[in-house]
Structure 1
Amino acid sequence: MDQAAAQPRKCPGLDCSNDASTLQCPKCKDMGVESFFCSQDCFKRSWAEHKTLHKSTNPLRNFVAPKVVSKVDPETGKFNPYPTYPFTGPLRPVYPLSPKREVPKHIPHPAWSVDGNPRYSFAKRNHIEILDEKAQNAMRKSCKLAREVLDIVGAAVKPGVTTDQLDEICHNACIERNSYPSPLNYNSFPKSICTSVNEVICHGIPDQRPLEDGDIVNLDVSLWFEGYHSDLNETYYVGEKARTNPDLVRLVETTRQCLDLAIAHAKPGVAFKEFGDVIEKHAKSQGLGVVKTYCGHGINTLFHGAPNVPHYAKNKAVGRLRPGMTFTIEPMVTLGSYKDKTWPDDWTSVTIDGQQTAQFEHTLLVTETGIEVLTARKADSPGGPIKLESAEQNGHAEKPTSTE
């Protein structure tokens, strides 16, 4: 806790009526937000609820200017909210974020829609659900809708389109299907889709930056329909510069293949830890790295639950596939280091060396004989694979993966 001079004010601690002292939350101080508590004990007691405030990133509601004021373009009103932050690559956030999009009241809302708190119990979150036939059919419906939404958003990807416009398209497509976009306000995430551009590994927040010819962008769609969540994502090329960039093609197509190979390996009895061995072996064969921080997960009535499904080799994941389980595999593969760093918005995860990264994800159902890909591409789905030359032809077969 940092010391700071303050005028008399009330402590924001849980059920606390005391005046605040000069003890300030260090995270709030870094964000430029005033948050003073009466005592260290009160701060500790209130931490679980208080920390959710750190996730709120919509500047139209509670953005506080940093000590070094970001220069606002007088014509557009756009700005970088973190002008002194040491970004790892060339990408920059472009604010202000658009106002929070609303979901009509006739569509059921999850618990976090009000205050950002999922309210998952420890026991439920760590229990692997085995779905009966009714629940499996419910998952099929939810995943079918999510595929439709992703295809609609993916078809809109082109140079000049902002990621905020993609968020609006996703949000409206979910509403048209009487579905709640699962990410919206989940742990205070401010948008309805994750849009991860270039060096962003995952959890990119849609903003005012237009996509550029030569970018790649991952679109991660999740929705909640009749009590069941679905989850899938794909990485798309933006413009011809991206489609003709051999390094980007190697990255994107190898990542797509990593997911396909992992799914081909799946069947009842297979250990969850085996997928990482399959994925990393193929990624390394193309001189690419595999992110270790994030993993696949169980999904059905919970947005994120057991099991954890790591994507790197020699992991310690527990459990084996059993019929009736639903879960995701979603490898994140990098051109350089597998290590990550998070922007000050507490969401946007980027590669530590600023090099590009790609991801693909499906929601899967374990059947008695194998795997059903609930979010499978359709014949007319936009995007899709393009020809990948061998690593030997491109001269990348022996390229080492950075560990820095």
Structure 2
Amino acid sequence: MRVIECRKEFFMIGRNDICWCGSGQKWKKCHYPNESSPQRKSKESTREEYLRQHRIIIKDQKQIDGIRASCHLASRILEAACAKAKVGVTTQELNDYAHKLHDAAGAIPAPLNYGHPPFPKSICTSLNDVICHGIPNEIPLKEGDILNIDVTCILNGYYGDCSAMVMIGEVDAEKRLVVDVSYNCLMRAIEIIKPGIAISAIGDVIENYAHSKNCSVVYQFVGHGVGINFHEGPQISHHRNYNSILLVPGMTFTIEPMINAGSREAIIDPIDQWTARTKDGKASAQWEHTLLVTEDGHEILTNWKR
């Protein structure tokens, strides 16, 4: 597997151009190789080194096709699981159903046994004040709950990652607000994705919109590169930040803003070491897509429908 296959038109820069590292300085004053170096690096190899350092993998067409297929499968599993989320159903039942769908498609649920400690289930189910990484259990869903279902599958070695919210029956105004705001944050951010856009612009769009609706953005968790691995570079912060890495065609990553009705602060369950909850107990919501940066814009690889 090649870490990167780059095209010169995106990575050839002049000495007076802004450096690719995001420092804001000219290349000649930042990462331009020392003229006296006996083994001076080329512009292309310097850029390649930078992408490696940040674990950013520019995908070739074969990889894109494989990631797209995995994303489509993850979307179908997500839609099927969301359709089954009703009053009286347990999140463990949703987990078991999603696992069977993975098996039927010859895929592997990426969360299962991932990390330290190993995540114990095949999907994440985050209920009400749970921000993310909720663990399926035997407690039945009830009227007024909001639930995030997060599906990541591995198909033929490629990863597809997505999540969506389900409102169980009639929910109160605060929960409905945070569900809608989180979705709108995601879709507004996706609208700006194209080559040449700084990653920081994603966080600007999301946090500005969330604050306009009196909601907060969780800082502790981020979007990420995905496709060849579960988690790759670049890191996609959903709040205002200074990440001026520019998007280029072939990047694949998630945008998955976690929006709270109250404070942005999160606490991690000290027992299971996975479940993240809002510190103030207020509702949280999240939607997630995997994106591909194309030559003239973007493609939403996870084609689930709300």
Q: TM-score band (shorter)?
A: 0.7 to 0.9
C-alpha distance in 2, partners of 1:211/1:322?
A: 42
- Which runs of 5 or more structure 1 residues have no equivalent in the other structure? 1-122, 379-383, 385-404
Are 2:161 and 1:234 equivalent residues in the alignment?
no
Q: Is the 8 A contact 2:174 2:283 kept in 1?
A: no
TM-score, scaled relative to structure 2: 0.81
Cα RMSD of the aligned pairs, angstroms, is: 1.2
Match of 2:32 in 1: none
Equivalent-residue separation in structure 2 for 1:213 and 1:147 (angstroms): 25
Deviation at 1:317, TM superposition (A): 2.6
How far apart, in 2, do the equivalents of 1:193 and 1:125 lie?
A: 30
- The answer to whether the 8 Å contact 1:298/1:326 transfers is yes
Query: Partner of 1:266: helix, strand, or coil?
Result: coil
Does residue 306 of the first structure (1) align with residue 306 of the second (2)? Answer: no
Q: Quote the Cα distance in structure 2 between the aligned partners of 1:316 and 1:232.
A: 26
Partner of 1:141: 69
- 2:99 is the counterpart of 1:171: yes
How many residues align? The count is: 253
Change (3 A) 1:318 1:304: farther
1:252 aligns with 2:252: no
Alpha-carbon deviation of 1:173? 0.6
Structure 2: gaps of 5 or more residues: 1-50
Q: Contact (CA 8 Å) 1:125, 1:305: kept in 2 or not? A: no
| Alpha-carbon contact 1:125-1:304 (below 8 Å) kept | no
1:207 aligns with 2:137: yes
Shift of 1:126: 3.1
* Matched residue type, 1:292: Y
- Offset at residue 125 of structure 1 (A): 7.9
Identity among equivalent pairs (%):
44
In the other structure, the counterpart of 1:316 is: 242
Residue 194 of structure 1 aligns with an amino acid whose one-letter code is C
Matching residue of 1:341: 267
For 1:128 and 1:236, the matched residues in 2 are separated by 32
Q: Which has the higher contact order (CA 8 A, sep 6+)?
A: 2
Shift of residue 246 of structure 1? 1.8
- The CA deviation at 1:318 is 4.5
Q: Residue 236 of structure 1 aligns to a residue in which SS?
A: strand
Quickly say closer, same or farther: Cα 1:281–1:133, change in 2 above 3 A: same
Tell me the equivalent position of 1:350: 277
Q: The residue matched to 1:186 in structure 2 has which SS?
A: coil
Distance 2:285 2:53 in 1: 28
In the alignment, structure 1 residue 221 sits paired with structure 2 residue 151: yes
1:1-400, aligned counterparts within 5 Å?
126-187=54-115, 188-239=118-169, 241-242=170-171, 245-313=172-240, 315-343=241-269, 344-378=271-305, 384=306
Runs of 4+ in 1 over 6 A off after TM superposition: none
Structure 1 distance, partners of 2:188, 2:266, is 24
Label 1:183 to 1:125 Cα distance change in 2 as closer, same or farther (>3 A).
farther
